[in-house]
Structure 1
């Protein structure tokens, strides 16, 4: 399983991903390790956790993105992402999130993709706006977003 976009290849993290992560010395936080542990306990999480985001041109991991678990009873899934700072401002996060959203909506399980971001994370706010998400509410420090599946 993989997602391909114009410039990216995205592969869901599993036990085989560890080799490429180690080879490239990729470290972008604890999300992947957390997901791999959860995946060991529940193999049905495959595809519904972290995905490695690689440049098509050279296979370098530039970030990770994915979902914060399987769709809930309301057919919602939350998307999250993080990219190495070297790759910020180049449209990679937008491209990756668009790919994930399309993948999620392609099956029958997801009717809504949600997200949250801090008020001061201007880059992330722009990503969510560009992929068509709408603000649903906010709190003192967070903005909450959603994108509902629309038949074409």
Structure 2
């Protein structure tokens, strides 16, 4: 359902710089199983926020972890990125586990969200 939106966004922006949505495909048959990406270009401090989602039928199979790690590595190779953040709702335990597996550390909580920061080893 989101593909038409992202297609229009690509047309509107004259392509991509990579700091938008990336589709997660199943390797054996190229089935779309989810998406990951960034919530816009890096800010003036080099911060970019990551997000991800998997179709319900493909959760808990490692797709988000693998795809998010790839785009984290890509982002950190860009001169404009100094750090990566994420946020999730308090009851989104799946996202919390994924962020921990990826190496994010919880920075603080608000009433609505938990805020995370990627920590490089």
Calculate the TM-score normalised by the size of structure 2.
Answer: 0.89
Q: CA deviation at 1:75?
A: 0.3
How many residues are matched? 121
Instruction: Determine the structure 1 residue equivalent to 2:8.
Output: 37
Q: What RMSD, in angstroms, separates the aligned Cα atoms of the two structures?
A: 1.8
Distance in 1, Cα, partners of 2:40 & 2:15: 10
Q: Does 1:112 align with 2:112?
A: no
Q: Secondary structure at the match of 2:52?
A: strand
Choose from 38, 46, 49 the match for 1:67: 38
Shift, 1:146, TM fit: 0.9
Q: Decide whether the 8 Å contact of 2:103 with 2:120 is kept in 1.
A: no
Q: Are the counterparts in 2 of residues 45 and 70 from structure 1 also a CA contact under 8 Å?
A: no
Unaligned runs of 5+ in 2: none
**CA 1:148/1:73 → structure 2, altered by over 3 Å: closer, same or farther?**
farther
Q: d(CA) in 2 for partners of 1:38 and 1:58?
A: 26
1:86 aligns with 2:77: no
* Structure 1 residue 149 displacement after superposition: 4.9
Q: Is the 8 A contact 2:103 2:119 kept in 1?
A: no
8 A contact 1:112–1:149 mirrored in 2: no
CA gap of 1:33–1:46, structure 2 versus 1, over 3 A, is farther
Displacement of 1:39 after TM fit? 3.2
